């Protein structure tokens, strides 16, 4: 409670006392018991009440979030050209009065939910997109009075600025901007751009009407039941297409994997065959080289060949009968070395 309110309360109370003294004096007079000094007391209280009333009528306390517009019968324009700033201020009693305006931030919400908006019921903004689809938009406008233009606002709008400026401007600008986009753009890729354009345009229009836009919030965008069902069906179809593409891709990967396995097996067979062939060639070369070495060792030594022949037979021969006319059962190898 500020001092101006206290003085106004005291002034009211003093007038009640004046009335009470007058009534008491009249009652005592009717009973032939006049109250001594009643007139003086009454006059004194009246003077005191007038002083209190005059002082309280001239004192105005302005809160930090307020500005005061002074309507003055003594000013040429009918109002002071400067607003009253926060604090305890004085105006001319009975010739001037003050209209207080809050410069704190205010929020105006338009929503389909009955309990969320400033207006009861469905207060969302119905708009048509560029492709003719109907959308319903929920939005909030956070704004305030320009502290430097409170007098102009009072002259133009007084306290009607919310219903006659903020609401119609916001709804009209939202509809105009929504009509520049397709429905899919609004709900996906271009939503941020739409919000930025609305913010820029609304800030300019509110500024022309002595208001300051603090923020614009695009709360929600929803559709008619028919279009929402169509969107849902489209999303289901897109999901089925994606699933089919995934299956095809998976089958391709499996086929490629099988081809790679088969190719690997074929390459392994080729490598194995090639290795076997190379091993055979190496073995043949080794055998040939061994034969060459053996032939070289036997050259000029026929008795060694006879010895090896007999030695090869001896482990398996226990008893041998020979005809009288044949010295050997098997012919000895040719020991003659060609010249």
> Domain 106-223: what homologous superfamily?
Band 7 domain (3.30.479.30)
Q: Which tokens is 277 given?
A: 């062939």
The pLDDT confidence band at residue 230, using thresholds 50, 70 and 90, is low
- Give the residue, 77 or 174, on which the prediction is more confident: 174
Residue 323: the pLDDT is: 57
Residue 127: the pLDDT is: 92
The pLDDT confidence band at residue 20, using thresholds 50, 70 and 90, is confident
The pLDDT confidence band at residue 285, using thresholds 50, 70 and 90, is confident
The pLDDT confidence band at residue 248, using thresholds 50, 70 and 90, is confident
Q: Nearest-CA neighbor of 104 among 140, 68, 135, 65? A: 65
Residue 125: the pLDDT is: 93
- Give the residue, 339 or 74, on which the prediction is more confident: 74
Q: What's the rounded mean pLDDT across residues 191-219?
A: 95
Residue 131: the pLDDT is: 85
Give the integer Cα–Cα distance in Å for 166 and 153.
Answer: 13
CA angle 206, 209, 210 (to 5 degrees): 95
* 301-332 residue pLDDT tens: 666 667 666 776 666 655 555 555 555 555 55
Residue 232: the pLDDT is: 59
Q: What's the rounded mean pLDDT across residues 186-212?
A: 93
* 121-171 residue pLDDT tens: 889 999 998 988 889 999 999 999 999 999 999 999 999 999 999 999 999
- Which class for 284: exposed (0-12), middle (13-18), buried (19 or more C-beta within 10 A)? exposed
Q: Is the pLDDT of residue 287 over 80?
A: no
| 98: alpha, beta or left? (left if phi > 0; alpha if psi -120 to 50) | beta
The pLDDT confidence band at residue 289, using thresholds 50, 70 and 90, is confident
* 51-71 residue pLDDT tens: 888 888 888 899 999 999 999
The pLDDT confidence band at residue 36, using thresholds 50, 70 and 90, is low
Residue 210: the pLDDT is: 95
Residue 172: the pLDDT is: 96
Whether 165 and 145 have beta carbons less than 8 Å apart is answered as no
Give the integer Cα–Cα distance in Å for 161 and 103.
Answer: 13
The pLDDT confidence band at residue 24, using thresholds 50, 70 and 90, is confident
Residue 319: the pLDDT is: 55
What pTM did the predictor assign? 0.61
Q: What's the rounded mean pLDDT across residues 177-199?
A: 90
For 300, phi and psi rounded to 5 degrees? 80, 10
Residue 328: the pLDDT is: 52
Q: What's the rounded mean pLDDT across residues 286-296?
A: 75
Q: What's the rounded mean pLDDT across residues 272-293?
A: 80
Q: Where are the domains of the chain?
A: 3-102, 106-223, 226-339
Q: What's the rounded mean pLDDT across residues 279-298?
A: 77
């Amino acid at each position: 409670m500020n001092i101006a309110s206290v003085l106004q309360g005291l002034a009211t109370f003093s007038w009640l006392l004046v009335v009470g003294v007058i009534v008491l004096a009249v009652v005592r007079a009717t009973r032939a018991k006049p109250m001594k000094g009643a007139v003086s007391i009454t006059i004194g209280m009246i003077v005191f009440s007038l002083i209190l009333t005059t002082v309280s009528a001239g004192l105005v306390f302005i809160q930090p979030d307020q500005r005061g517009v002074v309507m003055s019968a003594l000013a040429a324009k009918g109002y002071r050209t400067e607003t009253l700033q926060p604090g305890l201020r004085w105006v001319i009693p009975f010739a001037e009065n003050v209209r207080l305006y809050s410069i704190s931030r205010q929020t105006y919400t338009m929503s389909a939910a009955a309990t969320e908006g400033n207006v009861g019921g469905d207060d969302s903004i119905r708009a048509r997109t560029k492709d003719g689809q109907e959308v319903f938009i929920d939005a909030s406008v956070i704004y305030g009075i320009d502290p430097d233009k409170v007098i102009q606002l009072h002259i133009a709008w007084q306290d009607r600025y919310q219903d006659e400026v903020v609401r119609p401007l916001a709804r009209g600008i939202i509809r105009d901007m929504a009509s520049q986009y397709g429905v899919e753009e609004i709900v996906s890729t271009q939503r941020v751009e739409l919000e930025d354009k609305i913010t820029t345009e609304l800030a300019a229009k509110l500024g022309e009407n002595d208001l300051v836009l603090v923020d614009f919030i695009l709360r929600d965008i929803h559709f008619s039941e028919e279009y929402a069902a169509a969107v849902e069906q489209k999303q289901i179809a897109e999901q089925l297409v994606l699933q089919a593409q995934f299956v095809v891709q998976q089958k391709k990967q499996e086929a490629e994997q099988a081809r790679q396995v088969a190719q690997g097996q074929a390459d392994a067979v080729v490598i194995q065959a090639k290795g076997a062939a190379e091993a055979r060639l190496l073995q043949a070369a080794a055998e040939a080289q061994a034969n060459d070495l053996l032939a070289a060792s036997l050259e000029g030594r026929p008795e060694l060949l006879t010895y090896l022949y007999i030695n090869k037979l001896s482990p398996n021969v226990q008893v041998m009968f020979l005809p009288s006319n044949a010295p050997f059962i098997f012919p000895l190898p040719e020991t003659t070395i060609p010249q």
